[in-house]
Amino acid sequence: MPALDDILREELVALEQAGRKRTPQSYSRGAEAALWRGSEPLVSFSCNDYLGLSHHPAVKSAALQAIERHGLGAGASRLVTGNHPLYEELESLLAELKGTEAACVFASGYATNLGVISALTDKPDLVLFDRLAHASLIDGTMLSGATWLRFKHNDVADCERLLAASRPNHRRCLIVTETVFSMDGDRAPVAELYEIARQHDAWLLTDDAHGLGVGEERSMGQEARSGGRDCQEPAERRAIAEVRRPEQGALNNNLIQTGTLSKSVGAMGGYVCGSRTLIDHLHSAARPLIYSTALPPAILAAAIASLRLMQSEPELCERAMNNARFFCSQLGLPEPQSAIVPMIMGEEERAMDASKRLREAGFLVAAIRPPTVPPGTSRLRFTFSAVHREEDIERLCALVRVAGWHKRSMAA
């Protein structure tokens, strides 16, 4: 039998020949989208720190104070001795933001989706997920052992067709989607999906990893104003407002909201928001929660500070969207639905070459390849932050315009 390394070398060669071999690169991040690869300075348009809060003085100060007072590590899982009092404050803020009875924080967004889906569904059940759903949502479904079906991307009619055919054969049913799709930047029809979930006695899980804090109209239930203008209201908040039952004055408990604290919040961890009964159940059933060491107090304190900044400085919530709109308007691209703007290159080599050319000009724009995206749709993925400077966006646009990549993308 061949040695393990011999087998793995063959697989690595195959990946390299297909343009799909991954090699981690070392980067040092600074404030205002600054980044260094060794001594090479770059402006990053690949980071998910949409509000620039990971380098905000108040956020860093909160983390440092927590370390000074509470030490670094949590020491154990949340159900042993790791459930620091800061968890309660953070979860209250998240529940307030999402308009739910309760929330639960996990070690990561990935662990959240793995834990929630596998805790709620089992072999007798059915899970339907969007064809472009994130790997964590798919893996949580596979871990559950439930029967699963994929519906066409953002296609409510296809989801309803699958529900009508399969729902009667299963005990429970869960529909899963992202609110903002991480590789395409488009938004899900959350209200419509919720309605068909309600009609078919199903639950709807929405992962808001790339939507939280970007274009929020209200932060923590407060009216937000920016320069005399209302901020754009995100799709999830509009949808949630539509699925409230007026006679109850609260969200229907069939809606489950997950997300991450590692992107717009600039910290680490994941969360789920829903009914108090749901959260109580997850405390006893979600294995990634039960068997993971708790987050350090410094991370909890930083996340709390970030959410407070979203509340007190609502203009942050619009700035990233404004930068994405400016980029698209300069290149004649359709108006973006989020702070993520993909530019389809086609084959892997083409995307890698474009990313290399941008890096040589001082920009980091990641090339996204299969299996993260479907074959033939390798792309440049531009992400915009509240801290990007207009002059850097203009310079980036000039490079894209000369290369003609935007025209190729629109044709695709």
Residues labelled as active-site residues: 48, 134, 178, 182, 207, 210, 263
d(C-alpha 234, C-alpha 338), whole Å: 9
- Among residues 126, 185, 134, 184, the alpha carbon closest in space to that of 159 is found at 126
Residue of 207, 219, 269 whose CA lies nearest to 97: 219
Say if residue 357 is exposed, middle or buried (CB neighbours under 10 Å; 0-12, 13-18, 19+). Answer: middle
| DSSP per-residue letters across 36-71 | EETTEEEEESS---TT-GGG-HHHHHHHHHHHHHH-
Residue spans of alpha helices (H) in 103-257: 109-120, 135-144, 156-166, 190-199, 235-243
Q: Kindly tell me the number of DSSP H helices and DSSP E strands found in the chain.
A: 15, 20
Question: Which residues contact residue 305 at a Cβ distance below 8 angstroms, ignoring those fewer than 6 apart?
Answer: 56, 58, 59, 61, 62, 63
Q: For residue 145, give Cα distances in angstroms to 94, 164, 230.
A: 30, 21, 45
- In three-state form (DSSP H/G/I as H, E/B as E, the rest C), the secondary structure along 249-276 is CEECCCEEEEEECCCCCCCCCEEEEECH
The one-letter code for the residue type at 95 is A
CB contact set of 96 (below 8 Å; sequence gap of 6+): 220, 221
Written as six digits, the tokens of 255 are 């809606």
Provide the strand spans (E) within 179-238. Answer: 203-207, 218-219, 222-223, 225-226, 229-230
Confirm if 176 and 130 have CB atoms less than 8 A apart. yes
Q: Phi and psi (nearest 5°) for 141?
A: -65, -45
Please state, in angstroms and rounded to a whole number, the distance separating the CA atoms of residues 93 and 30. 28
CA distance 56 to 312: 14
**Taking the alpha carbons of 312, 317, 320, 323 in that order, is the dihedral positive or negative?**
negative
